[in-house]
Amino acid sequence: MPYLHADDDRLLFVPLGGCGEIGMNLNLYGTRGRWIMVDCGMSFAGDEAPGVELIFPDTQFIEQESDALLALVVTHGHEDHIGAIPYLWPYLKCPIYATEFTAGLIRDKLEEEGLLDEVPLTVVSPQSELTLGPFSIRYQPLAHSIAEGHGLIIETPKGPIFHTGDWKLDDRPLIGPISPAEALTQLGEKGTLALVGDSTNIFNASESGSEAAVRESLLELISGMTGRVVLTTFASNVARLETAGYIAKKTGREIALVGRSMNRIYRVAREAGYLADFPPIIDERDVGYLPRERVMILCTGCQGEPRAALSRIARGDHKELSLTAGDHIVFSSKIIPGNEKTLGGLFNTLVERGFDVVTEKDHFIHVSGHPGRSELSQMMAWTKPSVVIPVHGEIRHLTRHAEFARKEGIAHTIVPKNGDVIKISEDGAVKVDSVPSGRLALDGQEIVDIDAPSIAERKRLLFNGVVSASVRLSSAGKLTSAPEVRFLGLPRADNPSLESALAGAVETHLDRQGKSVRADDARLEDAVRIAIRRYARGQVGKNPQVMVHIQRDKKGQQG
Amino acid sequence: MPYLHADDDRLLFVPLGGCGEIGMNLNLYGTRGRWIMVDCGMSFAGDEAPGVELIFPDTQFIEQESDALLALVVTHGHEDHIGAIPYLWPYLKCPIYATEFTAGLIRDKLEEEGLLDEVPLTVVSPQSELTLGPFSIRYQPLAHSIAEGHGLIIETPKGPIFHTGDWKLDDRPLIGPISPAEALTQLGEKGTLALVGDSTNIFNASESGSEAAVRESLLELISGMTGRVVLTTFASNVARLETAGYIAKKTGREIALVGRSMNRIYRVAREAGYLADFPPIIDERDVGYLPRERVMILCTGCQGEPRAALSRIARGDHKELSLTAGDHIVFSSKIIPGNEKTLGGLFNTLVERGFDVVTEKDHFIHVSGHPGRSELSQMMAWTKPSVVIPVHGEIRHLTRHAEFARKEGIAHTIVPKNGDVIKISEDGAVKVDSVPSGRLALDGQEIVDIDAPSIAERKRLLFNGVVSASVRLSSAGKLTSAPEVRFLGLPRADNPSLESALAGAVETHLDRQGKSVRADDARLEDAVRIAIRRYARGQVGKNPQVMVHIQRDKKGQQG
């Protein structure tokens, strides 16, 4: 029995990801018994899920509606918009639409997961109109920190919605069309029902700045550099890659591309027709043969990812590349919140080895891909929406975005949460229901709930360590040999006496137990657990988890 | 046999903490067979030591020299300058000198650890001169983000050293003397041998700003606020506390102090003669009876510490205080690097509950306590040192500070590392040796090396979980019962079949082993470990640690 009936003409908006976090964007629009999904992104796990790499939105709601799901429409190719596709598509099995470059990135992911032949992936052009049941969609090019950023103009029976995706304004974007002013002004004149958009930079008053300005400033900086130049940036920023090639040419340096994703995205970008003027690329193995002032290395790892090229170069364990004191490491990137300590550590390693480190704090060499308040204001002025729905942000971002929209004279706003069912009409946006939502974690090879026991247990292990005890008793419940204890993660782990001390504590405690406890494995386990925790808390100040093995001899056996 | 002989007239500087990190400052000066220690700070553990709260410098070098250690001289009362005293003093047993307020904070710590009667703690006044063997020391008041910040003018046989401690320039500090210009100019005219100083803010070009300006801006902000005002800041910033009291009076609000350290530091400050004009404090239990616009709550937790007052208020589980939507939470503090995610989470909780959150990003309500480059430049101009030795920073801070000093025309600089033995003379500072140094961690109740097995094991547990297996064999080495397996932290931990599957994998693998393995407990353990890891890697994508219990029946027993 479907959630949305064919005769239900309400226009519903249901975010399942991205409303409550920056990352894992996944939004649903529904009416007249049909749904479309906009983006299917992932997020990276933090301390809330130790030992977990990737986080996905929980799609159980739309899985149940999958017969009514017409398509996944993708705005652009960043991981927080496409990263969950290979993991969640098997539960959705819907057609996917994206523009050429974005489709290339998705295709790579599907190939890795062996899904390429299964998934119906259609390349659309911004000129074409995509009709999906009650919805008809046009891709509106917008500048962003990746090639082929798009907003979606979604025509619905209730009126047009502009879903911005991630965007900024850039009159010199280097790649892609210049200004959406005309198209969006037209949209505004017809009257936009709702503007659903990016809240990432709501705390920035000023505009994000232009890729062309970054190019000029980087050229000026690198022109003055002797020694090798290592430039690191987000590989998906094709305009920045083009800038690197441009600067290499201008400064008489040969350019090498280092790092898997850098080479992958370069290839995909070329296939999509970008980077046509990029200078010839030299093999990283040849870098060593060139004079230092003739080399530029464009590499991954601008967030300090330990396995990425830059971190390996910094540690001096990259198999092909080694640098010399005086070489320059230029971070043409931002420090993503949460990565400050990792990056600080990388900066220290680089400085200690005598490299010159330049970051956006020292020089103007990066611009954001998200709109500051001045750009948000311009967008509202163009599109003149009746309703503004902030997405892609934590609660504080969404709340501030909604406040800002009201200050800008927007009649109706709402602060959505993942799982909210929001009815959009001329009268505004109202929450009418809420459906299951949440976060899934890729734990090893398993997709589990973020609150799964495996994750909760590891958090406790992290603080208190673990003890295992093996206890052997006669059928009468008497110890037939001394308890045996092993542990991990307790201080003095290098001191064997703690093991015997814990074993002694178990023996003493069990000796005090009566028949009824000795006869009952569950109660015996508790007794062993209590003995070990008491001792550990008292003697080393830790409260470890305990795993207990109980073995009972059969009648007639003696220890 | 002492490291430094009575007839060795070299002037040595040996940092054991703070040169390689911001935090845990501990510096030694030695000459003619005598040492003095400046500060004894702690640091907070990050991901490098999961489950650990506090980090201390490893003092083994000076412990061996403790007969020659004349005193610990403390510059000011921040944790990164006094926090390790109660933990390390028992290994040092030296007299401690500090000014009154700082001594009050140290006394509190010693009392908590039951050391108060043992430790010779002497209160010194900035006017007095402290003579310690070959050294004579004067406290030079400097503005900082705590009451009684001081640099130390250390007269040595080779000439005067100015050890800045943590400092800033503030012509309106609200508390403490106004400008060190005259004293430091005099010092410079005599000729300072070495300036040893704070590198924390070397990446800031501009000056840190004045407490008085913060007061004016906070007053203007809070005057416009209806509803309750919760002001959070670093409790040790007595000037900021005084500002809170001043604003409460001006805006007709009653003030309550909430949080243990807030009340503790208020008490210590009053005992030291500060906060004399502070308005009467109301009991937090009475806050609820006052009109909201008549309340100011001054509380701890500005870094999002989960157990601090503000976090408990935010979660709504503070036993006395509850807020109402529309109340204001003002963070008069900085976001300490590494705390961005925790604080972001706290901001979200507060905003979600309808509170108005104001941080230094929204309004000018905080200034740093550390010198920007303009202040460092002024300091060098006053003191005219032959040598500049940057301390209190990570390698990138120290390196940049040394570069900056050279640009400012300083003849000699050096970038010290913890454990370096640096000889200071008119000809410069040279590393002549290095001594043992490192980081200690308070793990539970034990002080262990930062690389201790307990910590390394917990890091592995965090990612891969743990399995324990109990195997029982006949004396001939045949399994006498099915292996038993328990695990924690593996995905599908809620699915019992993984336990039996792992047990099955162990049984199958052991069946394949020959006599020699079955006869050898160590090799059997390895076999069990291999069987479990292979299965876990293959089936759930984790590589757990394994604890094995082997029990052998005595001859004549049968399973």
What is the per-residue pLDDT across B74-90, written as a single tens digit (0 to 9) for each? 999 999 999 999 999 99
Query: Cβ A489–B51 below 8 Å, yes or no?
Result: yes
Q: Kindly report the pTM of this predicted structure.
A: 0.92
Size of interface A-B (CB pairs under 8 A): 197
In B392-428, which positions are buried (b, 16+ CB within 10 angstroms) versus exposed (e)?
A: bbbbbbbbbbbebbeeeebebbbbbebbbbbbbbeee
Q: CB of B465 within 8 Å of any CB in chain A? A: yes
- The shortest CB-CB distance from B348 to any of A396, A457, A549 is to A396
Domain co-membership, B44 together with B149: yes
Q: Which pairing describes strands B12-17 and B26-31: parallel, antiparallel, or unpaired?
A: antiparallel
Residue contact A462–B465, C-beta within 8 A:
no
Burial A511-523 (b: 16+ CB within 10 A, else e): eebeeeebeeeee
Count, residues in chain A: 559
Q: What CA–CA distances, in Å, run from B378 to A61, B184, B402?
A: 63, 10, 15
Dihedral angle sign, alpha carbons of residues A81, A82, A84, A88: positive
Give the pLDDT of residue B25: 98
Q: Are residues B118 and B265 both part of a single domain?
A: no
Q: Cβ of A50 and B465 within 8 Å? A: no
Domain assignment of residue B15, yes or no = yes
In a domain, B376, yes or no: yes
Candidates A9, A12, A43; CA nearest to A422 is A12
Answer yes or no: is B5 within a domain.
no
CB neighbour burial string for A247-259, b if at least 16 within 10 angstroms, e if fewer: bbeebebbbbbbb
Chain B residue with the nearest C-alpha to that of A395: B348
Out of B347, B396, B554, closest to residue A396 by CB: B347
The pLDDT tens digits of the residues spanning B44-66 come to: 988 888 889 899 999 999 999 99
For B304-354, write each residue's pLDDT tens digit: 999 999 999 999 888 889 999 999 999 999 999 889 999 999 999 999 999
pLDDT at position A274: 97
Query: Is pLDDT above 70 for A494?
Result: no
> What confidence score (pLDDT) does residue A556 get?
55
Q: Does the distance separating the beta carbons of B551 and A452 come in below 8 Å?
A: no
Minimum-distance CB partner of B340 among A340, A468, A494: A340
- Nearest-neighbour CA in chain B from A51: distance (Å): 4
Q: What is the pLDDT of residue B319?
A: 87
A337: chain B residues, CB-CB within 8 Å: 340-341, 344
Contacts of A396 in chain B (CB under 8 A): 344, 347-348, 351, 357
pLDDT of residue A476: 81
Kindly state whether A146 is in contact with chain B, defined as any CB-CB distance less than 8 angstroms.
Answer: no
- CA-CA distance, A143 to A211, in Å (whole number)? 10
pLDDT at A493: 52
Angle at B170 between CA B165 and CA B174, to 5 degrees: 105
The residue among A417, A449, A481 that closes a domain is: A449
Which has the minimum average pLDDT: B301-310, B489-498, B527-536?
Answer: B489-498
B158 close to A (CB below 8 A)? no
Do B498 and B407 belong to one domain? no
Residues B38 and B183 in one domain: yes
Are A79 and A55 in contact by the 8 Å Cβ rule? The answer is: no
Q: Indicate the residue among B449, B475, B505 that finishes a domain.
A: B449
Count the residues in chain B: 559
Amino acid B35: pLDDT: 98
The 3-class SS string of B99-112 reads CHHHHHHHHHHHHH
Distance from the Cα of A539 to chain B's closest Cα (Å) equals 8
Structure tokens at B371: 């010198």
Residues A77, A171, single domain; the answer is yes
Q: How far is CA B116 from the centre of its chain?
A: 22
Q: Per the CB < 8 Å rule, is B551 touching A548?
A: no
Whether B535 and B505 have beta carbons less than 8 Å apart is answered as: yes
pLDDT band of B559, cuts 50, 70, 90: very low
List CB contacts (< 8 A) between B351 and chain A.
395-396, 399
Report yes or no: B545 at the A interface, CB cutoff 8 Å. yes
Q: What does the pLDDT look like over B219-267, one tens digit per residue?
A: 999 999 999 999 999 999 999 999 999 999 999 999 999 999 999 999 9
Of the pLDDT bands very low, low, confident and very high (cuts 50, 70, 90), residue A558 is very low
DSSP string spanning B119-131? Answer: S-EEE--TTSEEE
Same domain flag for A348 and A443:
no
The backbone torsions φ and ψ at residue B428, rounded to the nearest 5 degrees and listed phi first, read: 125, -170
Judge whether residue B176 has pLDDT over 90. Answer: no
Please state the domain count of chain B. 3
Residue B522 touches partner A, C-beta closer than 8 Å? no
Provide, as residue numbers in chain B, all residues whose Cβ is less than 8 Å from the Cβ of A549: 468, 470, 484, 486, 549
Whether residue A127 has pLDDT greater than 90: no
Q: Is the pLDDT of residue B556 over 90?
A: no
B351/A contact by beta carbon, under 8 A:
yes
* pLDDT for the residue A492: 77
Residues 6+ apart with CB under 8 A from B495: none
Of A46, A549, A559, the CB nearest to B468: A549
| B47, B453, B558: residue with CB nearest A493 | B453
Does residue A454 fall inside a structural domain? no
Closest chain A residue to B416, measured at CA: A352
Same domain, B217 and B335: yes
Q: A398 in helix, strand or coil? A: helix
ipTM of this complex prediction, to 2 decimal places: 0.90
Interface with chain A: mutation pick from B457, B459, B499, B555, highest number of A CBs within 10 Å: B457
Q: Is A457 a domain residue?
A: no
Of B352, B357, B462, the CB nearest to A462: B462
Give domain status of residue A337, yes or no: yes
- State both tokens at B98: 């500090």
Instruction: State whether B189 and B255 are in the same domain.
Output: no
The reply to whether residue A492 touches residue B340, judged by beta carbons under 8 angstroms, is: no
B376 and B293 share one domain: no
pLDDT digits (tens, 9 = 90+) for A38-64: 999 999 988 888 889 899 999 999 999
Rounded CA-CA distance B459/A340 in Å is 20
Statement to judge: residues A438 and A524 lie in one domain: no
Q: Which residues pair with A255 in a beta bridge?
A: A281, A296
CATH number where A302 lies:
3.40.50.10710
Of B197, B198, B273, B287, nearest in space to B238 by CA: B273
The band of A1, judged by pLDDT with boundaries at 50, 70 and 90, is confident
CATH number at residue B439: 3.60.15.10
Q: Could you report the per-residue pLDDT of B291-300, keeping only the tens digit for each?
A: 999 999 999 9
Q: Quote the mean pLDDT of chain B.
A: 94
Region of poorest pLDDT, from B392-396, B423-427, B516-520 = B516-520
Lookup: tokens for A444: 């090893």
Residue numbers of A between 307 and 346 with CB closer than 8 Å to B: 337-338, 340-341, 344
One domain for residues A126 and A256? no
Residue A541 to residue B458, Cβ atoms within 8 A? no
Put simply, whether B495 touches A (Cβ < 8 Å) is no
Residue A379 CB-density burial (10 A; 0-12 exposed, 13-18 middle, 19+ buried): buried
Quick: pLDDT tens for A266-319: 999 999 999 999 999 999 999 999 999 999 999 999 999 999 999 999 998 888
Report the residue from B399, B462, B557 with minimal CB separation from A557: B557
Contact criterion met (CB < 8 Å) for B461 and A463: no
Instruction: Give the per-residue pLDDT at B427.
Output: 95
CB-based contact, A404 to chain B, within 8 Å = no
Contacts of A553 in chain B (CB under 8 A): 557
CATH number at residue A536: 3.10.20.580
Q: Of the candidates A352, A394, A547, which has its C-beta nearest B395's C-beta?
A: A352
Q: In chain B, what's the furthest Cα-to-Cα distance? A: 93
- How do A129-132 and B428-434 pair as beta strands? unpaired
CA distances in angstroms from A478 to A469, A503, A511, A551, B555, listed in the order given: 16, 15, 8, 11, 20
B203–A491 CB contact, under 8 Å: no
| Cβ-based neighbours of B400, under 8 Å, separated by 6 or more | B199, B202, B203
* A488 → closest Cβ in B203, B470, B545: B545
- How far A345 CA lies from chain B's nearest CA (Å)? 9
Q: Is the pLDDT of residue A554 over 90?
A: no
Question: Chain A: nearest CA to B174, how far in angstroms?
Answer: 31
CA of B498 to nearest chain A CA: how many angstroms apart? 12
- Integer Cα distance of B73 and B99 in angstroms: 10
Q: Which of B454, B542, B543 to mutate to test the interface with A (most CBs of A within 10 A)?
A: B454
Å between B479 CA and nearest CA of chain A: 13
The residue among B200, B201, B468 with the most chain A CBs within 10 A of its CB, best to mutate, is B468
Nearest CA in chain A to B417: A352
**B104 with B16, same domain?**
yes
Distance separating alpha carbons of residues A299 and A308, to the nearest angstrom: 9
- The domain in which residue B532 lies consists of 465-552
- The average pLDDT across B377-400 equals 98
Average model confidence (pLDDT) across chain A: 94
Block residue for tokens 């008549």: B294
In a domain, A155, yes or no: yes
The Cα-based distances of A151 to A168, A387, B238, B416 in angstroms read: 11, 16, 51, 53
> Is residue B91 within 8 angstroms of chain A, CB to CB?
no
Q: Token match 């609660």: residue?
A: A395
Tell me: the pLDDT tens digits for A354-386? 999 999 989 999 999 999 999 999 999 999 999
Q: Whole-angstrom Cα distance, residue A416 to residue A413?
A: 9
Residue B43 domain-assigned (yes or no): yes
> pLDDT at residue B494 above 60?
no
Q: What is the band of B495 on the pLDDT scale with cuts at 50, 70, 90?
A: low
Euclidean distance between CA atoms B112 and B88, whole angstroms: 14
For residue B558, the chain A residues in CB contact (below 8 A) are 557
Q: Which of A376, A382, A380, A379 is nearest to A188 (CA)?
A: A382
Cβ distance of B458 and A489 shorter than 8 Å: yes
Domain final position from B358, B389, B423: B358
Are B383 and B188 within 8 A, CB to CB? Answer: yes
How far B231 CA sits from the closest chain A CA (Å)? 19
DSSP codes, B171-182: S--SSS-S--HH
Q: Give B558's pLDDT tier (boundaries 50, 70, 90).
A: very low
Residue B557, chain A, CB below 8 Å: the answer is: yes
pLDDT bracket for residue A146 (50, 70, 90): very high
Mutate to test the interface with B, among A199, A203, A457 (most CBs of B within 10 A): A457
